[in-house]
Structure 1
Amino acid sequence: MIDLQAGDLRTFVPSRDFALSQAFYTALGCELEWSDEGLALFRLGASRFYLQAHYVKDWAENTMLHIGVQDAARCHADIKRLLASDRFAPARVAAPRREPYGALVSYVWDPAGVLLHLAQWDRP
């Protein structure tokens, strides 16, 4: 077996409107570390991801990020308030629901249709 000695894994996330998606992720608390006209690097906790100025509908609507949070209900309420202004339309949020794998999850769709799973685990 090959030992890649990997220290980091980053995904690429599409955006339909690059500036709007950058503003959306910043409003969610992601820290913009670097950007140019077509790519932005965000940090969320100990993780990072790239936001691209590139959009393919099927890809965007099949991209999902699973994010562990402390309080899915609070995240839902905060994001619902954020989205009430329609600034990030067509982004939307669903009320938390208990999933069979043990997490309470609030689902958030970003402006491009990327699905975020904000998952609160009852046990480590």
Structure 2
Amino acid sequence: MASSESPAVSDVKVFVPTQDLTTSLAFYQALGWQCNWQSEGLAEIELAGVRLFLQAFYVKEWAENFMIYLTIEDAAAWYVHVQRVLATGAFPNARVNPPKPEPYGALVTYVWDPCGVLLHCAQPTNAPN
């Protein structure tokens, strides 16, 4: 009979696609992520104690359906921050939308990274809209 308890897990990370690892890494760093290490084809980035792997692997349909949810304190401030990053012209394929109230109770600034990965920068509003 199998045990009802799972073995311990000490960390969970996801592999995020990039069309160009160097460009995506620069984009995430410009947003405030720290690069912990980088090797050929892979980089570990960190923000708010959460780590992700950026990988040199790209399938358009997968990248454009990949999403990362960030809980933030100020969706408007993130919108301005991302606009400043994009104004440099270094990331022509990246884009940002102004904050939008969502029915599940968050004000969300949507950010698309250079290869189409969608970041939900969500400020909880504590009340469904």
Superposition TM-score tier, normalisation by shorter sequence = over 0.9
Structure 2 residues without counterparts, runs of 5 or longer: none
Equivalent residue number for residue 22 of structure 2 = 19
For residues 53-97 of structure 1, the C-alpha deviation after alignment (integer angstroms, 9 at most, x for no partner) is 111101100100000111010000111121023211100000000
Equivalent residue number for residue 28 of structure 1 = 31
Equivalent residue number for residue 68 of structure 1 = 71
Larger Rg, first or second structure (1 or 2): 2
Equivalent residue number for residue 10 of structure 2 = 7
Decide which of 81, 85, 89 is 1:78's aligned counterpart: 81
State, as a whole percentage, how many aligned pairs show the same letter.
49
Give 1:42-61 correspondences, 5 Å limit.
42-61=45-64
Q: Distance in 2 between matches of 1:118 and 1:4?
A: 32
Which shifted more, 93-102 or 83-92? 83-92
Q: Distance in 2 between matches of 1:121 and 1:70?
A: 8
Structure 1 residues without counterparts, runs of 5 or longer: none
**TM-score of the two chains, using structure 1 as the length reference:** 0.95
**TM-score of the two chains, using structure 2 as the length reference:** 0.92
For residues 1-59 of structure 1, the C-alpha deviation after alignment (integer angstroms, 9 at most, x for no partner) is 33232121111100001100010000111010011010000111121100001111011
What is the total number of aligned residue pairs between the two structures? 123
Displaced runs of 4+ in structure 1, greater than 6 A? none
For residues 84-122 of structure 1, the C-alpha deviation after alignment (integer angstroms, 9 at most, x for no partner) is 232111000000000000000000000010000000012
CA RMSD of aligned residues (A): 0.9
